Structure 1
């Protein structure tokens, strides 16, 4: 579950200035970390894996030495927090201003960082004059003109754009934004076409929240990507915001990223933060460290995951406290620029070492393939009687479905190499899988572990998923067996 499932309408990502004012007024000391002296940084770990680690920037904060030192040293990608949105770039119709956006772009260029564009079309933070357009034809023209000018202005400077942001509801239906209501379903397609015309080199992404796990909303976006790819509509990438609640990283995050990557698009964690009730304490910070590690690990294990962007550097400027009363401490550095355990979690997820104890959840050391292929596991350890539990969830539509399967070793003995077996009773057919090799013979289906998730420690679990087809009836399997031993069905 992500925190945006409870996000109130009208949310603006504006920084908190009150905390900064208090610190300055009281003379509280703020240490300037000498990160350039560190043996490794987040950006060096990311670069070693061919990925980027980014942050959302409000350029005025660069005047603070501590902020700028972290920005310069730890990241190799930057995204404008607000400066490139419609309300900022076209406050009145066909009158464009790029001062704030150019400050972010100039910083990226001068510091050798990639620049990520955010966001061309969004149902929030657009100027009031847009509401005054009653004609769908006129609104489409205004939208395409906006994209042509803004994407055109930054052509050759950005590596990717969030072309359309937050276009779907949690139930998978289209969000009834002004664009959806007045233009119709075609507005997303038209936005992507306009962006491609404005900047043929930039990768074009759709971005949304509460899509980090496999659910109705992420599946709706998956279906849109499939449709666009089939019809030749330009789309290159999908962004997963990952505004998360402490301890609630979806167990199928990696599987979800992989199923999009299997369609031939890049994926990215675009706005990561992990909020907690405040004040923080050692236990909460340890959980947050584990959460950051899980997210970075998931990206590391998906070849087409381009990287992770965190939605800010320091807790003192996070958007979370002003939107979610009683919550905060969501980022990697605290209010005084002290590095939190979350840093070690992020570093470990991208293959670095940690200075504090690592979480008990094992980190895969061998990334799974982009398209899972047959594996040759070593000898399997039979699951003790009653020693396994299986959860099976489905999102379905028309004659298709996506299934997520969670396998848990409930015994006291580790399992090394596993095969899960079940049967379908209504003629369902598996068409595509990820995080396991799924084969089918008639009604009988088997799923064998991938190379990186073969080991299930006592009490450990893993998830995999697949797409399938059905003829109108799609009952869940009645029974599962793990390495020949019957499992309980959760």
Structure 2
């Protein structure tokens, strides 16, 4: 997903509360020791980019800026490349904040994940209102979208490693109804332009920047199930038709309220076996906490479960050679979107509200430090 810190983007993951428990049981162990190496340096030993979502406004904080520069080798704009932020007034693009992040990445030898080209949320009011009142018809809407994709991808051409091209277009496992293709018929773009628009956006993005790696990105596809199966079948069809889909983004918003996704590694691998890159794009692990301010897990068992989920996500990524990117959705709990959307939950990230490293950080660091040597070979940093 593409979650902002307190924005409508959280709406899609809200429905995760209805997901049945997954099959796998926790088996976590605390981090055995702490290391001096940064996450980005440890990830580099595997050809794995360790990333985070960034708000350019937050870069004004020297401590926050230093953590991002030292610990991460890729960055994702949390909101600044979404349509409502880029073009709040029709025909007037606001490139400044996104350009600032790109420049920061260049200064710190980081890659940039572009986020996002087609999504039903965080669209500018002039667009949604125009469609609603009939002043923007179907043909014009398609042309507006096509031009937007070309404008955005061309503006950042050469600066973006991965683009999340299509985001959250498939029906969730817990939804009921006749969803034969798995593509949700009531999501904005499919509702107005038909399911074929998803392939068109990939083609337009590729035309605008042939070197950027193009991803489909979604939540709750980590486990084997109806949604991931439908996506898998659709991707196979699109690849056979020559649609330039080159990667799958597993958002990986997890919660201790549910079991760890069953078959996570195997699910990533089956997509990788189609010739695709794999990325964990928005990793966080929420749990029940004492308050939104301090965000301390309510019990040691919940803390242990969080640590185990972090361990399993990074281990699964390392085990799939095509997993080239592991992005955490934010730096500190103080900035996390979780408390604003899930009552009573938080502690979802690797740093606390005071920008102190949490046990979860050391779990990820420990896995990267001690993983089997076989994971250190045969993996590149993606198609670029």
Give the TM-score normalised by structure 1.
0.65
RMSD value over aligned CA atoms?
2.4
1:335 maps onto 2:353 in alignment: yes
- C-alpha contact 2:47 2:376 (8 A) present in aligned 1: no
Does the CA-based 8 Å contact 1:61-1:67 persist in structure 2?
yes
Shift of 1:235: 0.7
Instruction: Supply the distance in 2 between the matched residues of 1:38 and 1:73 (Cα, whole angstroms).
Output: 14
Separation in 2 of the partners of 1:42 and 1:369?
18
Cα deviation, 1:374-429, whole Å, max 9, x if unaligned, reads: xxxxxxxxxxxxxxxxxxxxxxxxxxxxxxxxxxxxxxxxxxxxxxxxxxxxxxxx
Q: Is the 8 A contact 1:90 1:96 kept in 2?
A: yes
Matched, 1:248 2:259: yes
- Answer with 287-296 or 239-248: which moved more: 239-248
Where does residue 196 of structure 1 map in the other structure?
Answer: 206
More strand as a share of residues: 1
Q: SS where residue 272 of structure 1 aligns?
A: strand
1:169-248 matched pairs, under 5 angstroms: 169-171=171-173, 173-175=182-184, 176-246=186-256, 248=259
Deviation at 1:347, TM superposition (A): 1.8
Alpha-carbon distance between aligned partners in 1 of 2:233 and 2:373, rounded to the nearest angstrom:
31
1:55-99 CA-partner distances (Å, limit 9, x unpaired) = 000012122232122111110000000000000111122321211
Output the CA distance in 2 between the equivalents of 1:318 and 1:139.
34
- Corresponding residue of 1:399: none
The alignment partner of 1:158 has SS state of coil
- Look up the match of 2:24: none
* Aligned-partner SS, 1:174: coil
Residues 1:82 and 2:79 aligned together: yes
Corresponding residue number in structure 1 for 2:285 = 274
User: The residue matched to 1:264 in structure 2 has which SS?
Assistant: coil
Q: CA deviation at 1:365?
A: 6.4
Task: Say which of 137, 140, 157 aligns to 1:155.
Answer: 157
Aligned counterparts of 1:316 and 1:333: Cα–Cα separation in 2: 9
CA deviation profile, 1:167-217 (whole Å, cap 9, x unmatched):
111147222122111100111011101100111110000100011111111
Unpaired runs of at least 5, structure 1:
14-36, 354-362, 371-490
Does structure 2 retain, via aligned residues, the 8 Å contact 1:302–1:368? no
Report if the CA contact (8 A) 1:139-1:179 is conserved. no
Deviation sequence 1:263-291 (CA, Å, 0-9, x none)? 00001100000000012143322221111
Deviations 1:110-152 (A, max 9, x none): 1110011000111100101222134222211111110000111
* Aligned residues of 2:82 and 2:116 also touching (Cα < 8 A): yes
Bigger Rg over Cα = 1
| 8 Å CA contact retained: 2:219, 2:253 | yes
Task: Quote the Cα distance in structure 2 between the aligned partners of 1:369 and 1:211.
Answer: 27
User: Bigger shift: 129-138 or 212-221?
Assistant: 129-138
Q: Distance in 2 between matches of 1:11 and 1:149?
A: 23
- Retained in 1: the 8 A contact 2:86–2:93? yes
Q: Within 5 Å, which residues of 2 pair with 1:51-450?
A: 51-131=48-128, 132-133=130-131, 134=134, 135-171=137-173, 173-175=182-184, 176-246=186-256, 248-279=259-290, 280=297, 281-350=299-368, 352-353=369-370, 366=374
- Is the CA contact (8 Å cut-off) linking 1:116 and 1:161 kept in structure 2? yes
Contact preservation (8 Å) 1:46, 1:307: no
Q: Runs in 1 of length 4+ with deviation above 4 angstroms?
A: 363-370
Task: Note if contact 1:285-1:340 (Cα within 8 Å) is conserved in structure 2.
Answer: no
Displacement of 1:104 after TM fit? 1.1
**Residues 162, 213 of structure 2: 8 Å contact kept:** yes
Shift in Å, 1:251: 2.9
Relative contact order higher in (CA < 8 Å, ≥ 6 apart): 2
5+ residue gaps, structure 2: 12-33, 174-178, 291-296, 379-384
Greater share of helix residues, 1 or 2? 2
